[in-house]
A and B are shown apart, each in its own frame.
Chain A
């Protein structure tokens, strides 16, 4: 970043020369900081903004470089949902939502038990278990394709509406993430409150329901969002194992075909991309603080 140029204003009255120098360097540091922050915001927003703007451009003006479309239209969204070219984006949205919800629910259910044990209990082999969980998160998905092809093929899952062929791998991908995030959250919970509640006469069930669950809710919720995003964004195995009845949005967008062969339907793809991204962005906007603390395992305060 370029250093900010300073405007040499006459010293404001009431400041000594030393104070003035300090004030100026302080102001320069502030200007530099805000320039840096602006760069970060542009970094995150600019390409995304370009996608949204293109989604609203008339297809004849695809490569216009105006910051907002001169011919605003919703045609691209209609094109994205139309099925007359063998695209089934609308169905894919439904499939991805189903797969995402089931994946998230199962991963949370299974993960919550493991996370509780890892955060609160001492048991033999605890670090071996942690190692296996972390190792799984590093596992190359591509190494699963051939064996799962054989396995799912033998089970007859590679035809028709067999969602489990996509859900089961997604769960095992989402589990390490879920457990890692939840363990961090649960380790930071004030568990003494549970015992206080018991001393005050709560039953274990009441203590859990009335005291601990509300406290754990933000952590649980954040983890669920992360698991859903993970499932929503999966591409490699979805591309290999999905059928027409289970095709996910990432596969649909990657395979989007235009009116003529070799004609890239840029604007329609940007519209489809906008549709699958905006819900995630809204989630990130609303829950950004919780998500960041989840991503950084509670390392961030404030």
Chain B
């Protein structure tokens, strides 16, 4: 690993050209240049986050379930959080069917989407990348073709699969052709879950494949030649050479896809509208807002944020997803292959969704 990693280390990111000395004033200049960006992010990301946290400790307007009196705000303590985490509406358990009682269902189904989608996308993505990592004619056509699902707006993707999965639609017709009875893709509990996963996998696997492919193309050919001379089988070559060398870009891609599915909204909101138990956490927040429970919704969205932040922390701390590549000298980590790819672009079509 280490010897190979040495030869593939080639990240120039974030390193000023060596021959230029550190200009005086570079520090101040740099800070000035990034200031506008930071201001934007502060106004739209950081301030709202803090405000949502503040709101989550405020009472919603309405009848206090405990006292039966109308309250307009005031401090709620942790009651908005216990509402979700302990399923408490006031001092009693939330009645089944109310939004408050759906938290653990939404959490479970969101985690289910995440695990299944990401696992399928990794396996298919590696396979796609291996196919494309050869010399062939028509490279541009293949690349353009697999970029199409990525470019289609998720809202349109959802409508398109809604049509494909209609009862009389092409999916049931094709299944009928091989003797499988038609199913209610957008309302039956298991079918609906897999309808969403299929649409998600269709849309984002190509992207995963391109990131993995970029990693593959950094592997020098002579490594494979050496393996061939040493008589390694195809499987050994894949497991011992290819996988370790694409590990970092793969982990980064997996991290970003995981965080992306954890906040999934567009697909279930349009494709199934939550039918068959497909209400994701983000959808639950929006449903709560529509009922006028802003502060309760803020508590829930803060929980979603914490879930995502915690997941990111786990990945970066234990999963080796090196999302920010520091110059190799500045960190105690030794021998790291450059993380390849622009996982941020994965969200280009599902920004904030």
Interface residues of A (CB under 8 A from B): 33-34, 36-37, 39-41, 43-45, 47-48, 50-51, 54, 62-63, 65, 110-111, 113-114, 116-127, 129-151, 168-177, 179-181, 183-184, 187-188, 191-192, 226, 229-230, 232-237, 240, 249-251, 253-254, 256, 264, 266, 269-270, 273, 276-277, 280-281, 283-285, 288-289, 291-292, 294-297, 299-302
Contacts and interface: CB of A to CB of B under 8 A. Distances in A.
Contacts of B285: 142-143, 145
6 contacts: A54-B163, A125-B31, A173-B347, A253-B156, A277-B153, A295-B210
Contact of A235 (B139, B142, B168, B266): B266
A230 B349 contact: yes
B345 A180 contact: yes
Contacts of A149: 289, 294
Contacts of A249: 153
B149 interface: yes
Given A113-B33, A147-B52, A230-B351, A142 B304 contact: yes
B140 interface: yes
Interface in B152-171: 152-156, 158-164, 166, 168-170
Contact of B13 (A122, A140, A187): A187
Given A117-B33, A230-B348, 12 more contacts: A33-B131, A121-B26, A122-B22, A136-B41, A143-B304, A147-B55, A171-B40, A175-B37, A179-B37, A187-B12, A192-B17, A280-B152
A40 B128 contact: yes
Contacts of A300: 210, 213-214, 217
Return the 6 tightest CB-CB contacts between A and B, nearest first: A141-B352, A123-B30, A299-B214, A296-B214, A172-B44, A117-B33
* Of listed A131, A140, A144, A281, residue having the most chain B CB within 10 A: A140
B344 interface: yes
Interface string B320-334: 000110100000000
B353 A141 contact: yes
A64 to B, nearest CB: 10
B148 interface: yes
B351 A173 contact: yes
Nearest to B303: A143
A48 B33 contact: no
A63 B213 CA distance: 38
Contacts of A297: 13, 214, 340-342
B326 to A, nearest CB: 6
A192 B17 CA distance: 9
A43 B146 contact: yes
Given A37-B136, A292-B210, A141 B265 contact: yes
B45 interface: yes
A142 B279 CA distance: 14
A114 B38 CA distance: 9
A254 B158 CA distance: 8
Nearest to A125: B31
A114 B146 CA distance: 31
A52 to B, nearest CB: 10
A143 B153 contact: no
A41 B142 contact: yes
Contacts of B38: 129, 132
B282 interface: yes
B323 A134 contact: yes
Nearest to B51: A147
Contacts of B215: 299
Nearest to B300: A142
B5 interface: no
Contact of A232 (B12, B153, B207, B289): B153
Given A50-B170, A51-B160, A253-B155, A188 B12 contact: yes
Interface string B7-46: 0000011111100001000111111011011101101110
A233 B155 contact: yes
B291 to A, nearest CB: 13
A273 B160 contact: yes
B45 A172 contact: yes
Contacts of A181: 342, 344-345
B234 to A, nearest CB: 11
A127 B263 contact: no
B50 to A, nearest CB: 8
A118 B38 CA distance: 13
Interface string B226-265: 0000000000000000000000010000001001001101
